[in-house]
Amino acid sequence: MDLDVVNMFVIAGGTLAIPILAFVASFLLWPSALIRIYYWYWRRTLGMQVRYVYHEDYQFCYSFRGRPGHKPSILMLHGFSAHKDMWLSVVKFLPKNLHLVCVDMPGHEGTTRSSLDDLSIDGQVKRIHQFVECLKLNKKPFHLIGTSMGGHVAGVYAAYYPSDICSLCLVCPAGLQYSTDNQFVQRLKELQNSAATQKIPLIPSTPEEMSEMLQLCSYVRFKVPQQILQGLVDVRIPHNSFYRKLFLEIVSEKSRYSLHENMDKIKVPTQIIWGKQDQVLDVSGADILAKSIANCQVELLENCGHSVVMERPRKTAKLIVDFLATVHNTDNNKKLN
């Protein structure tokens, strides 16, 4: 082989080796940085733009796609210790002509975290209403979606501000009172009674605890590499003291059953989506809501746990779109009649 050709391959190989080695080094040494880059790239790919808005000195961080139009805007509230980007897997399958808004909940990610903030469910509902007012999102009734803690907040929001929304979607929401506690809730009560708040299963501080949390929240058993688990933990550890404070607040007597206490005040068409194999919040909660909300549609997903948004994003998106189409068409027919 000609020496110049050999040299060309050596140079080309060296050029390719640099970014490959850099990626491997980043994966091994800074997995948390790669996770952030991953979300940035995914937002960019899906056309989600990040913005900030202020209520007095309080900052809200949110991402959005599209503009308000004749179809209702959609506001999405994430769960405990998550962030706005958890919705990206669902956003991927939603039509691009919808106006989508995903906000970081109080104290999470880019939204202000203050020691003076009221982290109760009522306090979070008031903050989300401030966010809605800042964006003038309620200039026209919008569709509100929430999952887990975000579902708890969304349901109470619908009860407190009925004129703001046209429809509601609750994905395995917290805030309900069951006749019997499941294994997870029993474990939490034992931890509370023993004051062992450092061992809350939803606040991992090691890769092993992170793996256990993923197994608790998901029916599908994901094989997550150790370095990714470490990266997920590294991202969370600086926030764990806040998560503990928040968790104790939302399971306190003031907040624990807020949705249950207000569900009969929800008057808008409501969709309930729940994984049948949810180990965190029992699926029987769907029936509790259906019996109290007049215009309610229940969708139970087979082979799905608590992390509905992550486990079944395509199905979740389809259910949301179909529900909106039904509600929207019904409203149009009423106007025509």
Whether 88 and 39 have beta carbons less than 8 Å apart is answered as yes
Let me know if 76 is exposed, middle or buried by CB neighbors in 10 A (0-12, 13-18, 19+): buried
DSSP, res 92 = T
**Catalytic pick among 85, 117, 164, 278:** 278
* Amino acid, res. 279: Q
**Catalytic pick among 73, 81, 89, 148:** 148
Helices (H), 30-104: 31-46, 88-91
Q: Is 114 a catalytic residue?
A: no
Q: Is 278 a catalytic residue?
A: yes
Measured from the Cβ of residue 245, the count of other Cβ atoms closer than 10 Å reads 15
**Catalytic pick among 83, 99, 143, 306:** 306
Contacts of 63 (CB under 8 A, 6+ apart): 43, 48, 49, 50, 51, 84, 85, 101, 102
Let me know if 90 is exposed, middle or buried by CB neighbors in 10 A (0-12, 13-18, 19+): buried
Contacts of 215 (CB under 8 A, 6+ apart): 221
Look at residue 252 and give its three-state secondary structure.
Answer: coil
Could you write out the DSSP letters of every residue in 2-27? Answer: -HHHHHHHHHHHHHHHHHHHHHHHHH
Per-residue tokens: 241:
């003291």
Residue labelled with tokens 């960019």:
44
Q: What is the C-alpha to C-alpha distance for residues 208 and 169, in angstroms, rounded to an integer?
A: 33
Q: What is the C-alpha to C-alpha distance for residues 162 and 138, in angstroms, rounded to an integer?
A: 11
List residues with catalytic annotation.
148, 278, 306
